[in-house]
């Protein structure tokens, strides 16, 4: 008895060790951002507000900024500490090239925006800390600009918000966390923006939101984790979401309500509810080569009114209790996906399981060509048995109720015949 107890303790400790190693390797797989602090060498100013090219030149002269405002020689604005309860750094209506870098912006009471740019092109924002603002960085009609290596946190609304036709911007390698209405928010015909290499965590509602009328944006190589809501909300159209790590969000990893998204090569792990939830008339989305692990509910769920979505060559491991996918929509196609645990029978050696995988839901859909082996490279830290069975094959499970009913009838008949014909005492 004592020996079995010791074995149990050792087993639990080993399991805990494996879990800790796996979590730590996954958690820190993102770009490290080196952001400034409120250095004593920064120049203290109340605020900076620029309106138009002429006013920009006045500020260049007033603050003795270097540069000429061209692509080859941009204005350099740097090393400011702006701590105030108003818009801290505001630029409107200019096409001058400028770089804002190495600054500390503290809004104190979350009343105004930390950085506000409207009708601006050719800006580079880097190594900026923004905290305690209403919106950390609020951009309207910002084009051909870069936001990189910034830290944005403790803001009442979004960390970064792009509105009113922001195009061809890059949001790169930032740390965006602890904002009350999401990390990054794109709306109002934003297109051709690249969001890459960011660490987005502990935000409310969602890590990243692509709202209605956004299209042709690229979301890649971000680590989106531990947000109080969804990892990504995708309501627009025709954007690419790929090679992201999306984990431990309190709602689903990705919520799709738009059309023609390409969602591929993401690792989606340990999200509450679904790995990917497709809902509200979402149509013609392609979901492929994703690795979806340990969702508390389905790996993929397709709601009613979703149509013509293609789910193929994904790997689904240990999601939900019984079925890993659900489809209540119409004309959604599941094929060539890998399911674990499940049946591993492959009599002819074609790398396709001999039984179709049953998709739960109103449509009675199936994956007719479930893969015998993973389609992606399962992360090395994830412990699993590639041949883990799920019990009786589904093809047999489907007929078990009928078999059971027939067996019961036979038993009853035999019992009745025996009773009628048993010898009298």
Range of the domain at 217: 33-229
For residues 222 and 271, state if they share a domain: no
Domain assignment of residue 405, yes or no: no
Give the span between the Cα atoms of 91 and 423, in whole angstroms.
Answer: 104
Residue position matching structure tokens 């996918």: 325
Residue 9 is predicted with a pLDDT of: 39
Are 186 and 318 found together in one domain? no
* C-alpha closest to that of 318 among 338, 347, 289: 338
Kindly give the confidence (pLDDT) of every residue in the chain, 425 residues in length, as a single tens digit, with 9 standing for 90 and above. Answer: 444 444 443 334 434 333 333 343 443 343 444 455 666 789 999 999 999 999 999 999 999 999 999 999 999 999 999 999 999 999 999 999 999 999 999 999 999 999 999 999 999 999 999 999 999 999 999 999 999 999 999 999 999 999 999 999 999 999 999 999 999 999 989 999 999 999 999 999 999 999 999 999 999 999 999 999 999 999 999 999 999 999 999 999 999 999 999 999 999 999 999 999 999 999 999 999 999 999 999 999 999 999 999 999 999 999 998 899 999 999 999 999 999 999 889 999 999 999 999 999 999 999 999 999 999 999 999 999 987 776 544 444 444 444 445 544 444 444 433 443 344 34
Task: Indicate the number of domains in the chain.
Answer: 2
180 shares a domain with 112: yes
Residues with Cβ within 8 Å of 228's Cβ and at least 6 positions away in sequence, in order, are 202, 203, 204, 205, 250
Q: Rounded to an integer, what distance in angstroms lies between the CA atom of residue 274 and that of residue 279?
A: 12
- The answer to whether residues 72 and 212 belong to one domain is yes
Residue 397 forms part of a structural domain: no
For residue 188, the model assigns a pLDDT of: 85
CB 173 within 8 Å of CB 33: yes
Q: Is 163 domain-assigned?
A: yes
Q: Are residue 222 and residue 350 in the same domain, yes or no?
A: no
Of 163, 195, 229, which marks where a domain is finished? 229
Tell whether 104 and 220 lie within a shared domain.
yes
CA 285 → CA 117, 270, 349, distances in Å?
A: 33, 23, 31
In a domain, 177, yes or no: yes
Whether 56 and 203 share a structural domain: yes
Q: Examine the domain organization and report whether 267 and 160 are in the same domain.
A: no
Residue (of 245, 244, 194) closest to 218 by Cα position: 194
- Whether residue 267 lies inside any domain: the answer is yes
272 domain residue, yes or no: yes
The pTM of this model reads 0.84
> Looking at residue 38, what is its pLDDT?
63
CATH number reported for the structural domain that contains residue 89 in this entry: 2.160.20.10
Same domain, 275 and 330: yes
């Amino acid at each position: 008895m004592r020996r079995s107890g010791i074995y149990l303790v050792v087993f639990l400790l080993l399991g805990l060790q494996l879990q800790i190693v796996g979590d730590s390797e996954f958690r820190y797989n993102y770009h490290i951002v080196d952001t400034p602090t409120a250095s004593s060498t920064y120049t203290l100013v109340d605020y900076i507000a620029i309106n138009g090219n002429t006013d920009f030149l006045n500020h260049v002269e007033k603050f003795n900024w270097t540069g000429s405002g061209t692509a080859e020689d941009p204005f350099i604005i740097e090393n400011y500490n702006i701590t105030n309860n108003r818009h801290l750094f505001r630029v409107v209506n200019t096409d001058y090239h400028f770089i804002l870098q190495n600054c500390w912006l503290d809004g104190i009471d979350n009343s105004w925006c930390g950085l506000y740019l409207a009708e601006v092109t050719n800006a580079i924002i880097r190594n900026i800390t923004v905290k305690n603002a209403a919106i950390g960085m609020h951009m309207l009609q910002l084009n051909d600009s870069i936001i990189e290596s910034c830290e944005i946190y403790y803001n009442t609304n979004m960390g970064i918000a792009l509105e009113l036709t922001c195009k061809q911007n890059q949001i790169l390698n930032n740390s965006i966390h602890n904002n009350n209405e999401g990390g990054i928010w794109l709306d109002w015909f934003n297109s051709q923006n690249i969001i890459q290499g960011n660490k987005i965590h502990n935000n409310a509602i969602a890590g990243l939101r692509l709202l209605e009328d956004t299209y042709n944006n690229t979301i890649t190589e971000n680590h989106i984790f531990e947000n109080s809501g969804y990892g990504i909300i995708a309501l627009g159209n025709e954007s690419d979401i790929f090679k992201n790590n999306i984990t431990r969000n309190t709602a689903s990893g990705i919520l799709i309500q738009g059309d023609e998204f390409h969602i591929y090569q993401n690792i989606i792990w340990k999200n509450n509810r679904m790995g990917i939830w497709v809902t509200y008339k979402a149509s013609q989305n392609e979901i492929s080569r994703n690795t979806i692990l340990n969702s508390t509910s389905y790996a993929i769920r397709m709601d009613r009114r979703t149509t013509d979505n293609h789910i193929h060559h994904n790997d689904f491991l240990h999601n939900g209790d019984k079925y890993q996918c659900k489809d209540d929509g119409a004309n959604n196609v599941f094929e060539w996906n890998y399911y674990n645990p499940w049946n591993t029978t492959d009599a002819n050696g074609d790398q396709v399981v001999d039984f179709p995988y049953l998709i739960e839901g109103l449509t009675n859909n199936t994956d007719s060509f479930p893969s015998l082996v993973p389609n992606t490279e399962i992360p090395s830290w994830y412990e699993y048995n590639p041949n883990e069975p799920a019990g009786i094959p589904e093809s047999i499970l489907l007929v078990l109720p009928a078999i059971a009913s027939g067996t019961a009838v036979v038993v009853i008949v035999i019992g009745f015949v025996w009773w009628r014909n048993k010898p009298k005492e």
